[in-house]
Structure 1
Amino acid sequence: MPETIDIQMKKGVLGLCVLAVLARGESYAYEIASRLSDAIGMGEGTIYPLMRRMQSDGLVDTYLVESSAGPSRKYYRLTSAGHRALQDQSSEWRGFTDAVDALLDPTPTVTQEA
């Protein structure tokens, strides 16, 4: 993603991106942060507070998995409310991006008046 995209714009869609990542499978925060860093350039520091907020909002729940190589990992999974939020936010996002794409189109469509 180009560096010219404003950081606030990226933060605005971060929750949607986390929901989308978790819809593909349960994961732990560092893995989520790595995927989002690769995809949209968002760092770890923004993920952890978001994950706590999503948990307190009931969008995700957590469970611990013991690790022989270190401390237990906290895994996140979508709740039914998280799945609904993903559907709602995805629909809103697609409508928004369609509208932006229409504005960016160099040859706008002409509407006829009734």
Structure 2
Amino acid sequence: MNVQFKKGALELLVLLIINNNDQYGYSLIQIIAKKIAISEGTIYPLLRRLVKEGYLNSYYEPSREGPSRKYYAITVKGNERLKKLTEEWNMFTESINSFMKESDIHDKG
């Protein structure tokens, strides 16, 4: 998958997943990696930025498998950001899909 496509969608994906359930960094990587190839190096800087911008809060929870885990929860501001990104994504994909429907690229191959 195109790296730029992933980069543009990752913030939306992270907010969508955390909106459903609080997550820790590695759990996010596992969830996303089931459908899209990503590396740890892309998630943790994004989480730090989302906390810094007030879209997420973080807290620690004990783990049965080792040290406490840092969980992330969406904030009210994060929910507003998620709604905005979702609207923008829908407008963007509808526009791209309309071009794809108008194109005869599938008939030329």
Same fold (TM over 0.5): yes
Q: How many Å apart are 1:68 and its aligned residue?
A: 3.6
Aligned to 1:16: 12
More helix by share: 2
Aligned to 2:107: none
TM-score by length of 1: 0.86
CA deviations on 1:49-98 (whole Å, 9 max, x unpaired) are 00000000000001100124311000000000100000000000000000
C-alpha separation in 1, matches of 2:36 and 2:15: 14
**Which runs of structure 2 are paired with 1:62-77 in the superposition (5 Å)?**
62-77=58-73
| Residue number among 58, 70, 75 corresponding to 1:79 in the alignment | 75
TM-score by length of 2: 0.90
Aligned to 1:97: 93
CA deviations on 1:11-57 (whole Å, 9 max, x unpaired) are 11100000000111101010001111112212221000000000000
Taking only the aligned residue pairs, the percentage that are identical comes to 36
Q: Which runs of 5+ in 2 are unaligned?
A: 105-109
C-alpha separation in 1, matches of 2:98 and 2:7: 23
Aligned to 1:50: 46
Aligned partner of 1:16: which letter? L
How many pairs align? 104
Is the radius of gyration larger for structure 1 or structure 2? 1
Structure 1 ranges of 4+ moved more than 6 A? none
Secondary structure, counterpart of 2:35 in structure 1: helix
C-alpha separation in 1, matches of 2:91 and 2:27: 29
Aligned partner of 2:38: which letter? M
